[in-house]
Amino acid sequence: MSAMRTVSQEAVTNNRASIAWLRCKDAFASFLGWYLEKSKAPARLKEFEFVDPETNETIYLSTGLRYSVLHIRGKRLFFDRVSGVLDGTCTSLQERVSNGLELRD
């Protein structure tokens, strides 16, 4: 019986240490997020692509040296990489041509 108690005591001790470590990591991540938000530090963005399963529409983010570009429904939104400010928008050439043809008909 004493061998079982030591094993269970070790499991509880290891579990408590793991919980304490996870709480410390969570508190540090929260503090770091708060600090970055208050100091208005730019966010680090990674390129991604998302396909909406209901509409089969693709939304993706591409990054360059000066801009992060969000592509939604043929429209491109340009954000400054450092400040995060919206710098401008653009529609795709195909959409502009098709809209022009519709207006002429």
Domain locations in the chain as residue ranges: 1-41, 48-104
Residue 9, pLDDT score: 56
Pair 57, 51: CB distance under 8 Å = yes
- Surface-to-core class of residue 7, CB atoms within 10 Å of its CB (0-12 exposed, 13-18 middle, 19+ buried): exposed
Whole-number pLDDT of residue 93: 62
**Tens of pLDDT, residue by residue, the chain (105 residues):** 455 556 555 655 678 788 888 889 889 988 988 888 888 777 777 888 999 899 889 999 988 888 889 998 888 999 888 778 888 888 766 555 555 554 444
- Judge whether 65 and 74 are in contact, CB under 8 Å: no
